């Protein structure tokens, strides 16, 4: 599995159920990497999308504790076990974990690659992802060239997990 996020200097990813900043080039990169693949998210992440609608041209899998939650165009699961069974139906190399905080924390050990847009700024935030610079086994493999959007500097980075937990392990637990 892969993970994709935009994180600031403190690994913050959001505030009030919204991204910290919208960068057109980052959105384009996200779309290019995830289209035609499977995206895994929590309910709040889905509801933060325009119109609260699933992302087009992707299989959208949403984990929520709300037993009666439904959303046309999304596959809804209500437990970690149900999520594991649903993910087992897909090639793990085509699965992208896209947030929010609890989903990143839940699935990070099973990801082998993380595509992180690092924002060179510290935002006021209420949502964070794990700090991959300090997570055991994770290393920065590639830091792209400096990019700018108005006065914001950012980098497209790729982190690798040297020893991801076996995907089969989450299916067979």
Q: What pLDDT is recorded for position 116?
A: 98
Distance CA 97, CA 35 (A): 13
Domain that holds residue 67: 2-172
Q: What pLDDT is recorded for position 168?
A: 52
pTM above 0.85, yes or no: yes
Structural domains in the chain (count): 1
What is the tens place of the pLDDT at every residue in 127-144?
A: 999 999 999 999 999 999
Distance CA 1, CA 84 (A): 12
Percent of the chain scored above 70 by pLDDT?
95
Q: What pLDDT is recorded for position 146?
A: 98
Q: What pLDDT is recorded for position 167?
A: 58
User: Cβ contacts of residue 95 below 8 Å, gap of 6+?
Assistant: 1, 2, 37, 38, 39, 40, 87
Q: What pLDDT is recorded for position 171?
A: 45
Average pLDDT over residues 51-60: 97
- How far CA 166 is from CA of 37, 61, 97, 162, 169, in Å, comes to 20, 20, 16, 12, 5
Q: Average per-residue pLDDT in the chain?
A: 95
Instruction: Kindly report the CATH number assigned to the domain that includes residue 86.
Output: 3.40.430.10
């Amino acid at each position: 599995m892969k993970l994709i996020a935009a994180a600031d200097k403190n690994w913050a990813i959001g505030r009030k159920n919204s991204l910290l900043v919208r960068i057109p080039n980052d959105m384009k990169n996200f779309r290019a990497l995830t289209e035609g693949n499977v995206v895994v998210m929590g309910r709040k992440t889905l509801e933060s999308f325009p119109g609260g609608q699933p992302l087009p041209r992707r299989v959208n899998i949403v984990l929520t504790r709300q037993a009666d939650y439904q959303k046309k165009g999304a596959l809804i699961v209500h437990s970690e076990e149900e999520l594991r069974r649903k993910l087992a139906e897909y090639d793990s190399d085509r699965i992208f974990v896209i947030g929010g905080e609890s989903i990143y924390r839940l699935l990070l050990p099973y990801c082998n690659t993380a595509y992180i847009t690092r924002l060179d700024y510290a935002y006021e935030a209420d949502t964070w992802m794990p700090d991959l610079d300090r997570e055991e086994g994770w290393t920065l493999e590639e830091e792209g060239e400096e990019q700018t959007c108005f006065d914001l500097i950012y980098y497209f980075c790729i982190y690798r997990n040297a020893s991801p937990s076996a995907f089969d392990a989450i299916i067979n637990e």
